[in-house]
Amino acid sequence: MRLLILAFSVLTSLMPVAGHAEDAAEAGSETSFFEQAGAAFQDVLLSALSLSGTPYKFGGNSPETGFDCSGFVRYVFSQAANLTLPHGARAISQLGKSIPVDQLQPGDLVFFNTLKKAFSHVGIYLGEGRFIHAPSSGGGVHIVNMNDAYWAKRFNGARRLDEQPTQPVTQSLADTPSE
């Protein structure tokens, strides 16, 4: 129930003030991220949230076997956006464009140094300082606040993937282990 409330909270906080995009445009309101980015990223967020509680497994890449951090991100983007990402947080960190933390939007990827090397962990930003990820401890896929001391001091950066990919990204970088 708590997950449903959080998902509803995240989604409604990102919707325009008016009920429809046309009404929002007529009222002079800014459009929401979902209207700008399209349905693909809304699907990414919903897909990620639906996997909450899936157990951690090193090298895991499916809900049936469990996920590691990059396996979780790869699975979500594959299922929800038809985008094929490389395995490994480091390899994923080479995709898209770098964005400053103050410009994070839901669906962006956030990276952390959790193994004493840069870009060793990845998650999906949800909004309001929260991200969803598959940590190696903590009960599987879940949402955390990236401003918590542990995550804040390990933050490496964020990337935004193409909002409307024209063709899948294929694995072109060497696999690197991730958490």
- List residues with catalytic annotation: 69, 121, 133
Cα(68)–Cα(177) distance, integer angstroms: 10
**Residue ranges of the alpha helices (H) in the chain?**
2-13, 21-27, 33-37, 39-50, 69-81, 89-92, 149-152
Tokens, residue 161:
């993937």
Are 54 and 67 in contact by the 8 Å Cβ rule? The answer is yes
- Distance CA(68)–CA(60), nearest Å, equals 5
Look at residue 101 and give its three-state secondary structure: helix
SS3 per-residue string spanning 111-140? EECCCCCCCCEEEEEEECCEEEECCCCCCC
